[in-house]
């Protein structure tokens, strides 16, 4: 594993010249009393170190004679480890995580200013962690106060993301392996949700079935809080209460993905609580499905980022006009954004260590081209909230279908294809469960 991370650090340092990169992991966060939220490392930090512990800062110093990769972390402490768990310690940081030098995190204020001295640029994600920002600026101030003794202070603070996030955008083989596992575990979980769901269950009970499979598949966590939204709740895009009873005749929208070694899957499926689509539900569902297939069809190297979105919007708008939910012609409805009343989000986002992953969408103000190794989601939807000018039979139907797609050298590979999304396949799977 570490050779991969060593290569990443080399690639970053080659682009940095004489600078110094400072990359803290995420802070721990208290939930209540003596309880903390489960710790999850910062994605940039994890990408360059694979170091899973809290209270750590990675420093990359190209050309430093004593070693280019310095890790500040917690020291071994048998008593603390008895209470709170094992630590790599300074020795482990060097032996297992390939740090050239490791120092106690408590000493960072004494050591880091010295490492910053005579480095013309600092690469850093300013604005991500306010407390660390303040400490870093204080250390830079300390270095500046010493210039009379011949030390030079950094003159530029450069956003580390410019370098790091472009690397993260193109997934390496090892990353794709993790993402395929996250996709597989999540797909199994969605199938379980489909086969266990029945009227009278609560959203929370279906969530429990889903997340049980995440754990069984080896995921330590979900990649984002699961959305399990029955009936009208599906029209709330980020619904996470997951507490209502599921009613016969309603649809259930589930947007949920597992995290494997910090890599996310992001799947949405929408299916009937009782196993059979009503004619209205199916009519809307077919439109969303056709738009999703049209969007996926646009994914291959050389296509613009925006092409899948445009393809989805075209199919959705056409369908809404055919059902009488929009009036006018397609071009006009698209130009005026009339479809946004029922489809108010974009068709996808980058996916990786973060569910909404890093990487620019535009370059020089133009949508960028898709490239081999990028992973994106494709997730069109329709959300028909009750409204005076909407026929009642469409009210409170929310549908989204979301898959994760890898851009390959010749086209696209859907990573999450193991959960059915055609109505007949969904009904067949749900019927099997009911027979057994
Ligand atoms: N689950 C968050 C999203 O689909 O963007
Ligand atoms: Mn998504
Ligand atoms: Mn999603």
Q: Three-state secondary structure along 103-120?
A: EEHHHHHHHHHHHHCCCC
Residue 46 is a catalytic residue: no
Neighbours of 327 (CB within 10 A): 10
Question: Is 255's C-beta closer than 6 angstroms to any atom of ligand 1?
Answer: yes
Whole-number pLDDT of residue 109? 98
Distance CA 102, CA 71 (A): 5
How far apart are the CA of 227 and the centre of ligand 2, in A?
11
Cβ–Cβ < 8 Å for 291, 421: no
> Which member of 84, 86, 216, 356 is catalytic?
356
Q: Encode 79-114: b = buried (16+ Cβ within 10 Å), e = exposed.
A: eeeeeeeebbbbebbbeebbbebbbebeebeebbbe
Probe residue for ligand 1, chosen from 182, 356, 361, 381 as the CB with the greatest number of ligand atoms within 8 Å: 356
**Residues near ligand 3 ion, CB 5 Å cutoff:** 255, 266, 268, 402
How would you classify the pairing of strands 20-24 and 121-124? parallel
Q: Which of 53, 98, 101, 402 is catalytic?
A: 402
**Residue of 190, 207, 346, 377 best suited for mutating to test ligand 1, as the one with most atoms within 8 Å of CB:** 377
Structure tokens given for 363: 């370059």
Catalytic residue among 53, 266, 357, 404: 266
Does 39 contact ligand 1 (Cβ within 6 A)?
no
pLDDT along the chain (436 residues), means of 10: 91 95 98 96 98 98 97 98 97 98 98 97 97 98 93 95 96 98 98 98 98 98 98 97 98 98 99 98 98 98 98 98 96 97 98 98 98 98 92 96 98 98 98 79
Please give the C-alpha separations between residue 63 and each of 21, 109, 237, in angstroms, as whole numbers: 12, 22, 49
Question: Separation of 308 CA from ligand 2 center, angstroms?
Answer: 14
Active site residue 190: no
Per-residue pLDDT, 433: 85
**Other CB atoms within 10 Å distance of the CB of residue 130:** 9
Q: Which residue in 107, 174, 118, 168 sits closest to 143, CA to CA?
A: 118
**Which ligand is the nearest neighbour of the Cα of 267?**
3
Report the nearest atom of ligand 1 relative to the CA of 224: 1
Mutation to probe ligand 1, out of 238, 266, 345, 401 (largest number of atoms < 8 A from CB): 266
The verdict on whether 168 is a catalytic residue reads no
**Nearest residue (CA) to ligand 1, atom 3:** 266
Q: Is 378 in the pocket of ligand 1 (CB under 6 A)?
A: no
Whether 198 is catalytic is no
- Ligand 1, closest atom to CA 227? 1
Q: Is 259 in the pocket of ligand 1 (CB under 6 A)?
A: no
- Of ligand 1's listed atoms, the one at least distance from the Cα of 349 is 5
Does the annotation mark 159 as catalytic?
no
**Number of CB atoms found within 10 A of residue 332's CB:** 13
- CA 190 to centroid of ligand 1, rounded, Å: 15
Task: Map tokens 């809307």 to a residue.
Answer: 284
Ligand of minimum distance to the alpha carbon of 222: 1
Which pLDDT does position 387 carry in this prediction? 85
Q: Angle CA(426)–CA(429)–CA(432) in degrees, nearest 5?
A: 145
- Using a 6 Å cutoff on CB, does residue 266 contact ligand 1? yes
Give the 3-state secondary structure of the chain: CHHHHHHHHHHHHHHHCCCEEEEECCCCCEEECCEECCCCCCHHHHHHHCCCCCCCEEEECCCCCCCCEEEEECCCCHHHHHHHCCCCHHHHHHHCCCCCEEEEHHHHHHHHHHHHCCCCEEEECCCCCHHHHHHHHHHHHHHHCCHHHCCCCCCEEEECHHHHHHHHHCCCHHHHHHHHHHHHHHHHHHHHHHHHCCCCCEHHHHHHHHHHHHHHCCCCEECCCCEEEEHHHHHCCCCCCCCCECCCCCEEEEEECEEECCEECCEEEEEECCCCCCHHHHHHHHHHHHHHHHHHHCCCCCCECCHHHHHHHHHHHHHHHHCCCCCCCHHHHHHCCHHHHCCCCCCCCECCCCCCCCCCCEECCEECECCCCCEEEECCEEEECCCCCCCHHHCCEEEECEEEEEECCCCEEECCCCCCCCHHHHHHHHHHHHHC
Q: Is the CB of 253 under 6 A from ligand 1?
A: no
Owner of token pair 């499905």: 289
Beta-carbon contacts of 78 under 8 Å, excluding residues fewer than 6 positions away, are none
Domain ranges of the chain: 2-168, 170-435
**Residue 131 appears among annotated catalytic residues:** no
For 2-168, give the CATH class.
alpha beta
pLDDT at 436: 56
What is the Å distance from ligand 2's center to 222 Cα? Answer: 13
Ligand 1 touching residue 237 (CB < 6 A): no
CATH fold for domain 170-435: Creatine Amidinohydrolase (3.90.230)
Burial of 288 (C-beta count, 10 Å sphere; 0-12/13-18/19+): buried
CB of 240 within 6 A of ligand 1: the answer is no
């Amino acid at each position: 594993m570490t050779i991969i991370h060593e290569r990443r650090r080399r690639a970053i340092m080659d682009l940095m010249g004489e600078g110094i990169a400072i990359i803290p992991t995420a802070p721990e966060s208290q939930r209540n009393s003596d309880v903390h939220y489960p710790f999850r490392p910062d994605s940039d930090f994890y990408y360059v170190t694979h170091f899973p512990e809290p209270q750590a800062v990675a420093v990359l110093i190209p050309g430093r004679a004593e070693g280019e990769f310095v890790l500040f972390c917690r020291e071994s402490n048998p008593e603390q480890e008895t209470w709170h768990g094992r630590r790599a310690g300074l020795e482990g940081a060097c032996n297992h995580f390939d740090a050239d030098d490791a120092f106690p995190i408590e000493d960072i204020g004494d050591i880091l200013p010295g490492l910053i001295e005579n480095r013309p640029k600092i690469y850093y994600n300013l604005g991500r962690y306010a407390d660390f920002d303040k400490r870093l600026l204080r250390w830079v101030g300390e270095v500046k106060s010493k210039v009379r003794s011949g030390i030079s202070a950094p003159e530029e603070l450069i956003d580390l993301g410019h370098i790091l996030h472009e690397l993260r955008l193109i997934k390496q083989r090892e990353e794709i392996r993790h993402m395929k596992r996250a996709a597989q575990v999540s797909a199994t979980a969605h199938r379980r949700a489909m086969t266990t769901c029945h009227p009278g269950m609560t959203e929370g009970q279906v969530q429990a079935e889903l997340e049980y499979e995440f754990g069984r598949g080896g995921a330590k966590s979900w990649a984002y809080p699961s959305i399990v939204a029955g009936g009208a709740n599906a029209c709330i895009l980020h619904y996470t209460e997951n507490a209502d009873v599921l009613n016969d005749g309603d649809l259930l929208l589930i947007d949920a993905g597992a995290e494997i070694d910090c890599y996310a899957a992001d799947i949405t499926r929408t299916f009937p609580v009782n196993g059979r689509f009503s004619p209205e539900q199916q009519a809307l569902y077919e439109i969303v499905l056709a738009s999703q297939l049209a969007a996926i069809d646009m994914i291959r190297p050389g296509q613009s980022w925006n092409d899948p979105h445009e393809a989805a919007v075209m199919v959705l708008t056409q369908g809404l006009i055919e059902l009488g939910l929009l009036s006018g012609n397609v071009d006009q409805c698209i130009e005026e954004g009339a479809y946004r009343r029922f489809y108010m989000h974009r068709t996808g986002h980058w996916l990786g260590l973060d569910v909404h992953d890093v990487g620019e969408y535009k370059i020089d103000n133009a949508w960028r081209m898709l490239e081999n190794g990028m992973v994106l989601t494709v997730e069109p939807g329709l959300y028909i909230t009750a409204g005076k000018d909407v026929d009642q039979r469409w009210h409170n139907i929310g549908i989204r279908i979301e898959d994760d797609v890898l851009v390959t050298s010749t086209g696209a590979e859907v990573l999450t294809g193991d959960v059915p999304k055609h109505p007949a396949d969904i009904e067949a799977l749900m019927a099997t469960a009911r027979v057994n």
